[in-house]
Amino acid sequence: MLSFARDLIYRMHSRFFKLPDATFDAIHYGGMAVYKLCIFIFTIVPYFALLIISP
């Protein structure tokens, strides 16, 4: 969504927060990185733990 409608999302957020373009991009890409890290931690790591303890 961010790659296709970046300007729309930026205009919507700039109504509430006065952010420069670079800060807006950094916050959103950082959020995507945290999301991907959480997916890794909460899905892949338990899968490998189950593989280790299964006979």
Quote the domain boundaries for residue 30: 6-53
One digit per residue, the tens of pLDDT, for the chain of length 55 reads 767 888 888 888 889 989 898 998 899 899 999 999 999 999 999 999 999 998 7
pTM confidence score: 0.68
pLDDT reported for residue 26: 93
- 13: nearest Cα among 3, 4, 23: 23
pLDDT reported for residue 47: 93
Q: What is the 3-state secondary structure (H, E, C) of the chain?
A: CCCCCHHHHHHHHHCCCCCCHHHHHHHHHHHHHHHHHHHHHHHHHHHHHHHHHCC
1 in a domain, yes or no?
no
Alpha-carbon dihedral of residues 2, 4, 8, 11, nearest 10 degrees?
A: 50
Q: How many domains does the chain divide into?
A: 1
